A and B are shown apart, each in its own frame.
Chain A
Amino acid sequence: MREIDAFSLPPPSTERLRLLFLTVAAGAFFGGYWFLVLARDGWRAQNGACGQLAQVADFLDCSTRILVLQSLAPLAGPALVAVLVVLAYVAAPAMITRWHRAEPYAPWPEAVRATVEEAGLSRPPVLMVSGRGLLPRMFTYGRYPRYRVMLPGSIRLYAVTDPSTVTATLAHELGHLRNRDVDRTYLAMFAAICLALVTVVPMGLSAAMTTGATPAFSVTWRNAVLALLVAATFAAAIRAREHDADLRAGQYRPVEMDALLSGGRQERRGLLRLHPRIARRLEVLRSPALLMRPSVAEAVASGIAAGVIVDELGVILQAVLPVPSLVAYWAAGAVAAFPVSGVVGLGLWRAASARTLTWGATLGSGVALGAGLVIGALLAPRSSVQWNLWLSGAPDYTAVAALDQILPGTAIWMVAVLLLLTTLITGWLALAARAWIPGAGPRAWRYAAPFAALLFAVVMGTWFVAARLAAAERWGPADLAALVITPQVALFLMLLVFLSSLALWPRVRTAPAAAALLPAVPLVLVLPLAPLLVAQAPTPVPVGQAARLPDSTQAGAICLGLYTVGTAAFGAPADHPARARLGELLRDSDDPLLRQVGDMFLRGARARSQDLAAVAWTAFVRRCDHLNRYPGRSVPDPVSPFPVEGW
Chain B
Amino acid sequence: MKLGKVIGNLTLSHADSGFRGGRFIVVAPQGAKELTGQNPGDHSDAWTLVTYDNLGAGVGDDILYVEGAEAMQPFDHRIPLDAISVALVDSFKYQPPVASHS
Judge: A and B partners, yes or no.
no
